[in-house]
Structure 1
Amino acid sequence: MAVSWLARLAACAPVPVFPALGMRGEEALYRLALSPEIKLVDSPRHASLLLVAGGVPPSMQQALRRVHDQFPAPFTTLWYRSTPLVELPRAAVTTVDSLDALPGALVESHGSLLRNTVGHSPRLLPDAPPHPWQGLGDDGHGGEGMMGGVPYGRPMAMPPTEDLRDGLALDVLTFRLGPFFPLWPPGLEAEVILQGDIIQQFSVQSSPFPRALAPVFHEAREQSVAIAALERARARHHLQALFHALHLAGLEGLARDALRLADRCPSGDIALLAKWFKTFERRMKRRGFFALHLPERGALRQEQAERLGGFAARAAGIDRDARTEDDGYRRLAFATITQQAGDTRARWRQRLAEIAQAFDLAARAQRDDMRTAQTDAVETPRGAWRDSRPGGTSPLLEDLLPGLEWGEALASLASLELAALSPWPREERAETQMGGAA
């Protein structure tokens, strides 16, 4: 009786879901973050449902199995536009193709799990330590005498070098994260060496999945398009990026408000959107968002900023924007905005300035029905698209992140756009107004 009552009580709470994002899975994340029925969590150990959203390459399926086996039993899986792992029994798998049906499918799967009417996901990997140690070594603890080996499954504290920042000889921890780590871009996998909380080495093992842009940016490479539509899509892209940074900072209410504002960008009243954004920006400053990013942390050198291009280059003082070459933008008196520091804080100030500028340009262009005049160069949110699309730039992290504390590194990474642009546009859907002013 007590177990039944507890199950009914649990069914009334938001569903704890861990999202493993594959290729083109971001829209599922943004949809669920605004659903009051869903609670997205950052660790598989805090969830009862695994959501795999988007395609997972065969090379990353083993990593997905490792994520799968970290869930506490009982749990089940739901696959959104993704192919389930072949080892999973059909009774433990639910597939969904509709974005609007996704929250309801997760709630139903959770209820079935609590009622014990759906199959539980089994473990897929052998239950064995990655570094066997029991009974090995001189004294049966895996090591050789007092040192060496991996006693108790962990290497002895024998730092090869002094700490990069303060010279202390702290313990060294080597680990891999990704490609489904929720606090950095989907697909990115890296081997990290920490000494204390300072990154000593950051080695990229796989690059982020290509990022799909709104269709209007692809259309602008083929024909003249409405400038208002381009700028609305630009503002939406930057607001979605801001969601990740605010979530990382623990500002969950502001993070959801950024997504609500982004959700209204394609068709909302532009004057009202600009007004909401000004209020939202003031709230960000009052909540101390910029104080969390110390000066000079994650600063780009000149060649790094030029390689990244786009807003990251402009945040480092590089006055370069393909919109200055378009007669349509010239008639709107477009002027490039820049910062100077080139660090994490400057990149977020640049993004916010470009969102405000996008709303202003969209309002004036919509009033006068202004359109682009060229197709050979389009300024995307990721950078200029000329003869080829902007490519991936994740290898620069290997030079940028060492020497930073772990929290500073995560914040710096969140402020960058590292994924290559996808050759296919993002699939558009009918916008759902989520309710509540941003």
Structure 2
Amino acid sequence: MAVSWLARLAARAPVPVFPALGMRGEEALYRLALSPDIKRVDSPRHASLLLVAGGVPPSMQQALRRVHDQLPAPFTTLWYRSAPLVELPQAAVTTVDSLDALPGALVESHGRLLRNTVGRSPRLLPDAPPHPWQGLGDDGHGGEGMMGGVPYGRPMAMPPTADLRDGLALDILTFRLGPFFPLWPPGFEAEVTLQGDIIQQFSVRSSPFPRALAPVFHEARERPVAIAVLERARARHHLQALFHALHLAGLEDLARHALRLADTCPSGDIVLLAKWFTAFERRLRRRGFFVLHLPKCGALRKKQAESQGGFAARAAGIERDVRAEDDGYRRLAFSMMTQQAGDTRARWRQRLAEIAQSFDLAARAQRDDMHTAQTDAVETPRGAWHDTRPKDTSHLLEDLLPGLEWGEALATLASLELAALSPWPREEPAETPEEGAA
């Protein structure tokens, strides 16, 4: 009786879900963040459900198995537009193809899990330490004498060099994060060496999944499009990026507010949207977003900023924006805005200024029914798209992040857009996935 009562009580609480994002899985994340019935958690150890959203290439399926096995029993999995791992029993798998149906499917799966009417996911990997140590070494603890080896599965603390920043010889820790680390872009994996909380080395092992653009940016490369629609899509893209930065800063109410604004962008009243965003900016400043949560770090050198392009280049003082060359934008008296510092704080000031500018341009273009004039190039939220789409620039981090504290590095990464832009779905070649691939 008591167990049944506790199960009913637990079923009324928001469902703790860990989202493992594959290719084109971001929209599922945004839908979950706006659902009052879902509690998105940043660790699989705090979840009851694992949501795999988007395609997972075969090379990352082993990493997905490791994430899967970290959820505490009992748990189950739900797959949104993704092929389940082949070794999972059918009873423990729920698949969903509709974005609108996703929150309800998660709530239903959680309720069935508590009522013990859905299959529970089994462990997929052997329960063995990655570095065997028991009974090994001079004293059976895995080490060699007092030093060396991997006692208890962990390397001994033997710092070879002084800390990059303050000269202290602290313990060295090398580890890998990704490709499903929720505070990094989906698909991104890196090997990090920390000494204390200072990054000593940063090595990219896997680039982020290509980022999908709103269809209007692809259409703009084929024919003139309504500037109002283009600018609404640009503002929506930047607001979604702001959601991630605010979540990282722990400002959850503001993060959801940014996402609600982004959700309203495609069809909401543009004048009201501009007013709401102005009020939202004031809230950001009052909550200390720029002072308390955005360190002055991660400044791009001129060559790095040029290779990054887009708002990041303009935040470093580089006046480059394809919209300035379009006659449609010229008739709207488009003016380019820039910052000078080129650091994390400057990039967010630049983005917020460009969001406000997009709402203003959209309002005036909608009133006069203005369209773009050129199709040989378009300014995407990621940068200029001329003959080729903007490419992956995650290699910049290997030079940019060493010497930063861990929190500074996360804030720096969140302020950049590193992923390449993916082709329009109709441009992608048909592929036959391997067994178990998504």
Residue equivalent to 2:129: 129
Residue 332 (structure 1) aligns with: 332
8 A contact 2:295–2:408 mirrored in 1: no
Q: Does 1:397 align with 2:361?
A: no
Residues 294-373 of structure 1 aligned to structure 2 (within 5 Å): 296-373=296-373
- Match for 1:215: what amino acid? P
| Residue aligning to 1:158 | 158
Report the TM-score, using the length of structure 1 for normalisation.
0.96
Which residue type is aligned with residue 379 of structure 1? E
Amino acid at match of 2:224: S
- The amino acid of 2:139's aligned partner reads D
The 8 Å contact of residues 192 and 203 in structure 1, kept in 2 or not, is answered as yes
Partners of 1:48 and 1:329 in 2: CA distance = 50
**How far is 1:296 from its partner?**
3.6
Report the AA paired with residue 369 of structure 1.
D
**In the alignment, structure 1 residue 176 sits paired with structure 2 residue 176:** yes
Change (3 A) 1:285 1:425: farther
- In structure 2, how many angstroms separate the alpha carbons of the residues matched to 1:309 and 1:115? 52
What one-letter code is carried by the residue in structure 2 that aligns with 1:308?
Q
**Runs of at least 5 residues in structure 1 that lack an aligned partner in the other structure:** 427-438
Instruction: Name the amino acid aligned to 1:406.
Output: W
The answer to whether the 8 Å contact 1:324/1:330 transfers is yes
Which letter does structure 2 place at the counterpart of 1:315?
Answer: A
Q: 1:140 is matched with which residue?
A: 140
Aligned partner of residue 69 in structure 1, secondary structure: helix
CA 1:73/1:294 → structure 2, altered by over 3 Å: closer, same or farther? closer
| 2:13 aligned partner | 13
> Quick check: 1:238–1:351 contact (8 Å CA) kept in 2?
yes
**CA separation of 1:113/1:295 partners in 2, compared to 1, >3 Å: closer, same or farther?**
closer
Deviations 1:187-244 (A, max 9, x none): 0000100000000011100000000000000000000000000000000000000000
Assess if the C-alpha contact under 8 Å between 2:197 and 2:405 holds in 1: yes
In structure 1, what residue type is equivalent to 2:215?
P
Please give the residue correspondences for 1:70-85 in structure 2 after superposition, counting only pairs within 5 Å.
70-85=70-85
1:214 is aligned to 214
Give the match's secondary structure for 2:404.
coil
The aligned counterpart of 2:202 is 202
1:99 counterpart residue number? 99
Residue segments in structure 2 that go unaligned for 5+ positions in a row: 427-438
Partner of 1:273: 273
Shift of 1:292: 2.7
SS in structure 1 at match of 2:70: coil
CA distance in 2, matches of 1:108, 1:406: 38
1:295/1:54 Cα in 2 relative to 1: closer, same or farther (>3 Å)?
Answer: closer
CA distance in 2, matches of 1:286, 1:195: 34
Letter in 2 for 1:183: L
Q: Secondary structure at the match of 2:237?
A: helix
Deviation for aligned residue 1:95:
0.2
Aligned-partner Cα distance in 2 for 1:231–1:268: 13
Task: Quote the RMSD (CA, aligned, Å).
Answer: 0.9
In structure 2, the residue matched to 1:431 is: none
Letter in 1 for 2:227: I
Corresponding pairs, count: 426
Moved over 6 A (4+): none
> Following TM superposition, by how much is the alpha carbon of 1:295 offset from its aligned partner in structure 2, in angstroms?
5.3
- Measure how far apart 1:425 and its partner are: 5.6
Question: What is aligned with 2:230?
Answer: 230
**What SS does the corresponding residue of 1:28 show, helix, strand or coil?**
helix
Q: Which aligned pairs between 1:232-251 and structure 2 lie closer than 5 A?
A: 232-251=232-251
Residue 332 of structure 1 contacts residue 361 of structure 1 at CA under 8 Å; is this kept in 2? Answer: yes
* CA displacement at 1:333 relative to structure 2: 0.7
Q: For 1:218, give the aligned amino acid.
A: H
Aligned counterpart, 1:290: 290
**Aligned amino acid, residue 18 of structure 1:** F
Tell whether the 8 Å contact from 1:297 to 1:344 is kept in structure 2 after alignment.
Answer: yes
* Alpha-carbon distance in structure 2 between the residues aligned to 1:424 and 1:5: 50
Q: Is the 8 A contact 1:293 1:344 kept in 2?
A: no
Which residue pairs with 2:379 in the alignment?
379
Please give the alpha-carbon distance, in whole angstroms, between the structure 2 residues aligned to 1:419 and 1:294.
Answer: 22
Q: Does the 8 Å CA contact 2:213/2:422 hold for their aligned counterparts?
A: yes
Q: Secondary structure at the match of 1:51?
A: strand
The residue correspondences of 1:31-70 to structure 2 (distance < 5 A) are 31-70=31-70
Deviation larger for 27-36 or 295-304: 295-304
2:295 touches 2:411 (CA, 8 Å); kept in 1?
no
